């Protein structure tokens, strides 16, 4: 009787994270502080209204998904110390999300 050794387990290649981009489609103006941004993750794009909100610290925004059958609204806070928060499921689970990272990038670029 011959003993056989099990084949080594195949290791999966790590899946590369899809590229994320954000662009300001319609910027804020003197008449309206609300703007429209487009967030792209991989091949999927989504438009959002972004409206500034009053905040006790940092900057706060209401981010509303538009042009979709199921509109969703999130609240993002960008702290003065570089921290950020969002109430979307991604942030609640992973402590980072496309909404907060995107708005932080636009703010750093001086576009918000």
**Domains of the chain: total:** 1
Of 94, 95, 105, give the one whose Cα is nearest residue 40.
105
Domain membership flag for residue 42: yes
Residues 6-23 have a mean pLDDT of 83
Structure tokens at 16: 């590369």
CA atoms within a 13 Å half-sphere pointing along the CA-CB vector of 108: 13
Q: Which domain holds residue 86?
A: 20-108
* pLDDT given for residue 73 in this prediction: 95
Query: 78 has which bridge partners?
Result: 59, 84
Residue 106 has pLDDT above 80, yes or no: yes
Label residue 67 left, alpha or beta by phi (over 0 means left) and psi (-120 to 50 means alpha).
Answer: left
Structure tokens at 68: 């979709």
**3-state SS class at 108:** helix
Domain membership flag for residue 92: yes
Task: Read off the pTM.
Answer: 0.81
Domain membership flag for residue 91: yes
Domain membership flag for residue 9: no
Domain membership flag for residue 7: no
Domain membership flag for residue 2: no
Domain membership flag for residue 13: no
CA distance 63 to 56: 18
Domain membership flag for residue 31: yes
């Amino acid at each position: 009787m011959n003993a056989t050794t099990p084949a080594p387990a195949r290791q999966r290649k790590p899946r590369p994270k899809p590229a994320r981009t954000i662009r300001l489609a319609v910027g804020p103006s003197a008449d309206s502080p609300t703007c429209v941004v487009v967030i792209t993750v991989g091949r999927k794009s989504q438009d959002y209204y972004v409206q500034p909100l009053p905040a006790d610290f940092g900057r706060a925004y209401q981010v509303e998904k538009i042009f979709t059958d199921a509109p969703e609204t999130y609240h993002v806070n960008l702290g003065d110390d570089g921290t950020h928060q969002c109430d979307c499921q991604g942030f609640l689970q992973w402590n980072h999300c496309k909404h907060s990272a995107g708005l932080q990038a636009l703010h750093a670029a001086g576009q918000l």
